[in-house]
Amino acid sequence: MRDVRLPRLLVGGLLWAGVSVASAEAPAVSFRADVVPILNAHCVACHLTGQEQGGVALHARAAPANLVGVASEQSPLLRVQPGEPGRSYLFHKLNDTHLDVGGEGGPMPMGRSLDPEQIAVIARWIEQGAHTD
Ligand code: HEC
């Protein structure tokens, strides 16, 4: 009996390992768990009420309504076009490609830049539909 069960366990284990490797390549991004901490640490100090330059409030409760499907002030793009980082002005401001898409001003966060991994998290969030629940 044992020699029948053992291979099954092995196969199951390998399948499971395969699934985790696949999901590690494109993990689902959570707005609250992954995006909000980046905004809090690097953006909210300057984008608190939306009355500041740029006109965009980025604290957790305001960010969805200030980003998703909302026209940017500086370019013809929406700040976040769900599913399309390349058509989202937010992504271009982080990536320093905003001038190429008709934008203006400096890259964000002003005076610094995010780690490539943090930019990738935001790009994936947009790509996965920019859900904010
Ligand atoms: C030190 C202050 C400061 C920090 C930190 C900062 N910003 Fe800004 N942001 C500005 C100013 C000032 C402008 C307007 C001038 C410009 O774009 O250079 C602006 C403009 C923007 C715009 C353009 C809005 C539009 O509709 O055109 C976006 C988007 C933006 N910021 C996002 C962010 C994000 C996301 C972060 C964090 C990763 C961030 N900013 C961090 C000061 C800041």
93 inside domain: yes
What is the CA(27)–ligand 1 centre distance, in A?
27
If you take atom 21 of ligand 1, which residue's CA is the nearest one? 54
The structure's pTM equals 0.85
* pLDDT band (50, 70, 90) for residue 27: confident
88 inside domain: yes
Note whether 79 and 66 are within 8 A (CB): yes
22 inside domain: no
Helix residue spans in 34-80 (DSSP H)? 36-42, 63-67
- Report whether pLDDT(77) > 80: yes
Note whether 43 and 66 are within 8 A (CB): no
Between 23 and 62, where is the model more confident?
62
Range of the domain at 35: 27-127
Q: How many angstroms separate the CA atoms of 125 and 84, rounded? A: 10
48 inside domain: yes
20 inside domain: no
Q: How many angstroms separate the CA atoms of 19 and 23, rounded? A: 6
Average pLDDT over residues 69-73: 98
Q: 34 in ligand 1 pocket by Cβ < 6 Å?
A: no
- What's the domain count of the chain? 1
102 inside domain: yes
60 inside domain: yes
For residue 35, what is the DSSP state? Answer: I
Q: How many angstroms separate the CA atoms of 88 and 76, rounded? A: 10
Average pLDDT over residues 77-104: 98
71 inside domain: yes
